[in-house]
């Protein structure tokens, strides 16, 4: 069942609000395999899909490699240490800032 408030929270913590606006809304096709999206956008859409499922454990492998510093800081603050605060998070990263 669709939960609007959860959906909006996920969009915000994954820094997708501006991207969705630029694309013309969240009901627009992005091509097979997301071919119209950048690498960072693909990652954030994938992350948003995972977060919306509301699991107890999240394994995040090299999640910051496709993101610029500003977006990475947003994901760290609002997703990893915000939205997922009460979840088990296993994070694999070479990014020393995250650690």
Q: What is the mean pLDDT of each run of 10 residues along the chain (99 residues)?
A: 94 94 81 75 92 95 86 93 96 76
pTM of the model: 0.87
C-alpha dihedral sign at 48, 41, 62, 70 = negative
Contact 90, 59 (CB under 8 A): yes
The pLDDT value recorded for residue 49 is: 92
Q: Please state, in angstroms and as integers, the Cα–Cα distance from residue 39 to each residue in 34, 88, 96, following that order.
A: 9, 26, 21
The pLDDT value recorded for residue 16 is: 95
The pLDDT value recorded for residue 98 is: 63
DSSP letter (8 states) at residue 27: S
What is d(CA 52, CA 84) in angstroms, rounded to the nearest whole number? 11
Q: 69: number of CA atoms within 13 Å, CB side?
A: 2
Residue with tokens 């997922």: 84
The pLDDT value recorded for residue 6 is: 96
The pLDDT value recorded for residue 37 is: 86
């Amino acid at each position: 069942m669709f939960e609007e408030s959860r959906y909006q929270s996920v969009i915000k913590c994954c820094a997708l609000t501006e991207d969705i606006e630029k694309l013309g809304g969240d009901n627009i096709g992005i091509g097979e395999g997301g071919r119209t999206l950048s690498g960072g956008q693909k990652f954030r859409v994938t992350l948003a899909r995972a977060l919306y499922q509301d699991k107890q454990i999240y394994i995040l492998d090299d999640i910051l490699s496709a993101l610029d510093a500003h977006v990475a800081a947003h994901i760290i603050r609002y997703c990893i240490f915000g939205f997922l605060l009460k979840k088990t998070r296993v994070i694999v990263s070479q990014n020393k800032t995250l650690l």
